[in-house]
C-alpha cells in the first residue's frame, strides 16, 4: 500500500518546477553558446553549418527522448505506489536501451548523415562544415541519450536540484571549452563540436553519481526485476508511443529548417537564431510540464484523481504566467539578443523581420506543453501519439497553403498553427487522464 502523498500546493509545484525551469532553460543555452561563439567569426556559413548540424543531432536524439519521458512517468507512478525496487528497475532498463541506441548511432553514422544531407538543401560550403561538426559530435550519442534516462529518473523522484546541477555543469563546461577551442585556439566549427562532446560525457558522469541511490541497498531487487515481462510490455508500449510522437514532432521542426534553407544561407541563419528563442521558451515553460509529470504520475500511482486535477490546474496557471512574461521579454529585448548572437548585418536584419514568431510562441504553445507533462505522468501515451498524427496532417496543410502565399512569414505562421491545434486536441482528451487515475 502506498504512503499518503504530500499536500499539493503552489509551494510544492515551485520546489519541483523552479529548479527545472532553470535546468531546462540551460539546455538550449548550449546551442545559444555555440551560435554566439561561432557568430563572432563573422559570415553566415559557419552559423548555418553549426545550426544545421545541431538540428540534425537534435532531431535524431529526440527520437530517443522517450527515455526521459517514459522513465519519468513510469518511475513516478512506482514512487507514488511506494515501490522503490520498481523505480530503480525503470532506470536500469532505460540505461541499457540508451547505451545500445547510442552505440548503434555511432556505428551507423555514415549512412544516417548521408541520408540527412541528401535531404538538406544547404549549400556546399555549409554542408562541408556541418559534416565536420557531426563527425565529432556523434561520439557523444551514448552519453546524450543516457542523460535522458537519468533526467527522467531524477524528475520522477523529485530531485529537481540534481537536474539543474547536471545541466549547469554541461552548459558551463561547454561555454568554457568553446571560448578556449574556438576563440583561443582558432579551431572554428570543429572546436564547437569538441566542446559539446566533452561537456556531454562529463554531464553523464555527474548524473549517474546523483542517481547512486538507485544502485544502493535495493539494487539486487531492482536488477531481478529488469526482465519482468509485464513491466517490459508496459515499457515497450509507453516508449513506443512516445517515440512515434517525438519523431513526428521533430519532423515538423526539421521540415521548418529545411524549407527555410531553400532561400539561402542568410534566411537559414536567421531562422536558426530565432529558433534559439523558441527552444528557450519551450524548455523554460516545460519546467511546469515536468512538475506535472512528477505530480500527476505520483497521483495516478496512488489512485488520487483529485491530485491529478490539482496538479494539472497549478501547472497550467504557472505555465500561462510564464508564457506572458517570456513574450514580453522577447518583444522588448529580442533585437538586442539577435545582435549578440551574430555580427553579420544581413542576418541581423533578416532575423528582426520574423521576431513576431518567437513573441507569439510562448502564448500559443504553453497549453500543449503543459498537457504533455500531464499525459506523460499518466502514461497516456497512446492518446499523445494519436493527437500528434492529427497535428502533423494539419501542419502539412498549413505549410502547403501559407508558405507559397507569405514565404518565410507563412513558414512561421504554420508553426503557430501546429501549436494551437495541439493545445485544442489535448484539452479535449483530458477527461481520459482523470478516468485512468480513477482505475489505476
Distance CA 379, CA 72 (A): 9
Indicate the SS3 state at residue 43.
Answer: coil
Count of alpha carbons within 13 angstroms of residue 110, beta-carbon side: 1
Query: What integer pLDDT is reported at residue 24 of this predicted model?
Result: 67
Tens of pLDDT, residue by residue over 153-210, are: 998 888 888 988 998 899 889 889 988 887 778 787 778 889 989 999 999 999 999 9
Structure confidence at residue 113 as a pLDDT band (50, 70, 90): confident
- What average pLDDT does the chain have? 85
Q: What 3 state SS string does 240-306 have?
A: HHHHHHHHHHHHHHHHHHHHHHCCCHHHHHHHHHHHHHHHHHHHHHHHHHHHHHHHHHHHHHCCCHH
Structure confidence at residue 1 as a pLDDT band (50, 70, 90): very low
- Mean pLDDT (whole number) for 218-235: 79
- Mean pLDDT (whole number) for 308-320: 93
Q: In this model, does residue 351 exceed pLDDT 70?
A: yes
Q: In this model, does residue 233 exceed pLDDT 80?
A: yes
Distance CA 410, CA 278 (A): 17
Tens of pLDDT, residue by residue over 363-372, are: 999 999 999 9
The domain segmentation of the chain, as residue ranges, is 10-439
DSSP 189-237: HHHHHHHHHHHHHHHHHHHHHHTGGGGSTTHHHHHHTTT-HHHHHHHHH
Closest to 133 in 3D by CA, of 268, 271, 255, 34: 34
- For the chain, the distance separating the N- and C-terminal CA atoms, rounded to the nearest angstrom, is 13
Distance CA 82, CA 3 (A): 6
Tens of pLDDT, residue by residue over 139-165, are: 999 999 999 999 999 988 888 889 889
| C-alpha torsion angle, residues 62, 283, 192, 211 (rounded to 10) | -70
Amino acid at each position: 500500500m502506498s504512503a499518503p502523498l504530500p499536500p499539493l500546493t503552489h509551494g510544492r509545484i515551485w520546489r519541483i518546477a523552479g529548479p527545472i525551469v532553470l535546468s531546462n532553460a540551460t539546455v538550449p543555452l548550449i546551442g545559444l553558446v555555440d551560435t554566439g561563439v561561432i557568430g563572432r567569426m563573422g559570415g553566415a556559413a559557419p552559423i548555418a553549418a553549426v545550426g544545421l548540424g545541431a538540428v540534425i543531432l537534435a532531431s535524431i536524439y529526440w527520437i530517443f527522448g522517450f527515455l526521459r519521458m517514459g522513465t519519468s512517468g513510469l518511475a513516478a507512478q512506482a514512487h507514488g505506489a511506494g515501490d522503490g525496487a520498481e523505480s530503480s528497475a525503470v532506470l536500469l532498463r532505460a540505461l541499457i536501451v540508451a547505451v545500445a541506441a547510442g552505440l548503434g548511432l555511432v556505428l551507423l553514422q555514415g549512412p544516417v548523415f548521408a541520408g540527412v544531407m541528401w535531404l538538406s538543401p544547404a549549400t556546399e560550403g555549409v554542408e562541408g562544415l556541418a559534416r565536420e561538426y557531426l563527425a565529432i559530435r556523434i561520439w557523444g550519442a551514448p552519453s546524450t541519450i543516457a542523460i535522458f534516462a537519468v533526467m527522467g529518473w531524477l524528475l520522477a523522484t523529485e530531485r529537481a536540484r540534481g537536474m539543474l546541477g547536471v545541466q549547469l555543469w554541461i552548459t558551463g563546461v561547454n561555454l568554457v571549452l568553446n571560448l578556449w577551442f574556438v576563440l583561443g585556439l582558432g579551431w572554428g566549427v570543429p572546436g564547437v563540436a569538441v566542446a559539446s562532446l566533452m561537456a556531454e560525457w562529463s554531464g553523464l558522469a555527474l548524473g549517474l553519481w546523483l542517481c547512486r541511490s538507485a544502485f544502493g541497498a535495493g539494487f539486487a531487487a531492482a536488477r531481478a526485476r529488469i526482465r519482468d515481462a509485464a513491466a517490459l510490455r508496459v515499457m515497450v508500449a509507453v516508449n513506443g508511443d512516445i517515440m512515434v510522437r517525438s519523431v513526428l514532432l521533430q519532423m515538423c521542426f526539421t521540415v521548418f529548417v529545411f524549407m527555410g534553407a531553400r532561400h539561402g544561407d542568410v534566411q537559414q541563419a536567421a531562422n536558426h537564431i530565432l529558433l534559439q528563442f523558441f527552444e528557450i521558451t519551450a524548455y523554460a515553460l516545460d519546467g511546469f510540464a515536468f512538475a506535472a509529470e512528477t505530480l500527476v504520475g505520483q497521483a495516478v500511482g496512488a489512485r488520487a484523481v483529485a491530485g491529478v486535477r490539482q496538479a494539472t490546474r497549478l501547472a497550467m496557471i504557472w505555465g500561462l504566467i510564464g508564457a506572458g512574461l517570456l513574450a514580453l521579454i522577447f518583444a522588448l529585448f529580442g533585437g538586442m539578443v539577435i545582435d549578440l548572437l551574430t555580427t553579420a548585418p544581413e542576418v541581423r536584419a533578416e532575423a528582426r523581420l520574423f521576431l513576431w514568431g518567437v513573441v507569439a510562441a510562448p502564448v500559443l504553445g504553453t497549453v500543449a506543453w503543459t498537457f504533455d507533462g500531464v499525459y506523460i505522468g499518466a502514461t497516456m501515451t497512446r492518446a499523445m501519439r494519436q493527437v500528434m498524427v492529427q497535428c502533423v496532417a494539419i501542419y502539412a496543410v498549413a505549410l502547403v497553403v501559407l508558405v507559397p502565399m507569405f514565404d518565410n512569414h507563412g513558414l512561421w505562421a504554420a508553426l503557430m498553427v501546429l501549436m494551437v491545434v495541439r493545445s485544442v486536441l489535448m484539452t479535449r482528451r483530458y477527461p481520459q487522464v482523470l478516468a485512468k487515475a480513477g482505475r489505476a
